[in-house]
Structure 1
Amino acid sequence: MGQLEGKRIIVTGGAQGIGLAVVKGYVEAGAKVAALDLQFSDAGEVVDEIYRHHVDVANNESVVTAFEKAVGHLGGLDVLVNVAGVERGGPSHEIPDDVWDLVFNVNAKGTRNTNSAAFTYLKEKGGAIINFGSRSGVVGVPEQAAYSASKAAVHTWTRAVAQEWAKYNITVNAIAPAMWTDMYDDYRNRLSEDELAAHDAVMAQQIPIGGKLGNPSVDLVPLLVFLASDGSHFISGQSFPVDGGWLHMR
């Protein structure tokens, strides 16, 4: 409690899943938080101490407007957490152009748009940016080629701008989470009964801690609170797997 007292934080994708868990965790840690999401109204409103505003991270004009409103409400900006993302799967040789474009526009271009908007407000006094990559973006996952490639772009973008923006005292890190979310439920729902059983058996074997995906509030939020705090000021350009040890299992 109070670890982030006085911090002003924007969280994209803050309407549900990991994003919502992060928003709640930051409020509990004492931060002032603005949640931006496609689901929210562009009029802006305050609900349970959280400022909520519409954003389409793939649209730079929408991002600039949403950040201007959010920063105005918060009275400044110290931290951006870019959670917003989409996942689509299927045979790699059959990925339609519209699916490829959607995944890259939200995950890769959305990272560029939100990070660049945050840079505008952070460059004078420093701060922290936390992007959401994925294990898929590190190892590549069959039938998730577009998602894997877009998340690989997030990790490499993070390493590049971490070096470029260090002179402004801005840290930039990425997370590779393995959390049970609505997006994961959608993936599971696409599997047949036999495929789901096989998937769960693989997960039980490959994730050393617990044998399944983690709980965002319990397993992920504590790290995000630390990365948003002053205690993480000497950590930048890193990708943190939060996955029960899954990433490095072979």
Structure 2
Amino acid sequence: MAGQLDGRRIIVTGGAQGIGAAVVAGYVAEGARVAALDRQFGTAGTTPDNIVRRHCDVADRAGVTTVFDEVVGLLGGLDVLVNVAGVERGGPSDDIPDADWDAVFDVNAKGTRNTNAAAFTHLKANGGAIINFGSRSGIVGVPQQAAYSASKAAVHVWTRAVAQEWAPYNITVNAVAPAMWTGMYDDYRGRLNAEELAQHDAMMSAQIPIGGKLGEPTRDLVPLLVFLAGDGAHFISGQSFPVDGGWLHMR
């Protein structure tokens, strides 16, 4: 049976674990050829099961360009970029270390620029889709996560800006704001003491209408990403899509 993305050539950053790995698997299952990029992969990489794996630091602009050129050649072209790669740092907003501020902006904001620009080079002749990863934090702001919130706000505004700029090239640019249970979320929970964790879980239960907790990437997020990478989303651009059980209401 044909998949929804048969023949699509897709790059997924942050593809080694968590949401990124789920997206890679979901795309391959729908018939796409996928290049999974991540800092965790070895420099050489392998190509099993229709997946090209390569080392890539999205904060390194020259490195991104080099890797994109290589994997686009291996895929035989490019139709879709999904930029999942991201990092999170938390703590009191009045004392954010420069290293933490720089880390989240280098990967989340600069990495979005680097990967999107590299993809544009390969998409502008025939069109395609770019899907960025924003966050609820970048829309409403979250206490103790000011640097992360600011970096993800940059992702959402960048997405809206380049969606307009690149529309004449038949390139759609959208963002998702997922509320998924990942290793990054486990790290956040690990910084909370027992009382804070209990309060956090009670808050999540009260505020997320569907299920009262974060979603599962393969079940709850991948189906939207498959749609946004396919033909059915050709007239949708410049949007931010919350995938969070009804937690955030966009206006």
Structure 1 length as normaliser, TM-score?
0.98
Shift of 1:70: 1.0
- CA shift digits 1:19-45 (9 cap, x unpaired): 000000000011000000001122131
- Return 61-70 or 226-235, whichever deviates more: 61-70
SS in structure 1 of the partner of residue 72 of structure 2: helix
CA apart distance, 1:142: 0.3
2:123 corresponds in structure 1 to 122
Aligned length: 249
1:100-142 deviations in Å (ceiling 9; x for gaps): 0010000000000000000000000000000000000000000
Q: What is the deviation of 1:248? A: 2.6
Which residue of structure 1 aligns with residue 17 of structure 2? 16
Q: Post-superposition shift, 1:222? A: 0.3
User: 1 CA distance for matches of 2:118 and 2:46?
Assistant: 21
Equivalent position of 2:58 in the other structure? 57
- Deviation sequence 1:220-249 (CA, Å, 0-9, x none): 000000000011000000000000000139
Residue 141 of structure 1: aligned partner: 142
1:46 aligned counterpart, secondary structure: coil
Aligned pairs for 1:5-154 within 5 A: 5-154=6-155
Tell me, what secondary structure is at the counterpart of 1:84?
A: coil
- Residue of structure 2 equivalent to 1:171: 172
Shift of 1:49: 2.5
- 2:99 is aligned with what amino acid? D
| 1:48 CA drift (Å) | 3.0
Aligned-pair CA distance for 1:66: 1.1
Q: 3-state DSSP class of the match of 2:242?
A: strand
Alignment gaps of 5+ in structure 2: none
Whole-angstrom distance in 2 between the partners of 1:99 and 1:69 = 31
Distance (Å, rounded) in 1 between the aligned partners of 2:63 and 2:192: 35
Question: One-letter code of the match for 2:161?
Answer: A
The one-letter code matched in structure 2 to 1:68 is D
Give a deviation string over 1:174-232, Cα, whole Å, max 9, x none: 00000000000010111111111110000000000000000000000000000000110
Distance 1:118 1:159 in 2: 16
Q: What residue identity is the alignment partner of 2:231?
A: D
Q: Segments of 4+ in structure 1 off by > 6 A?
A: none
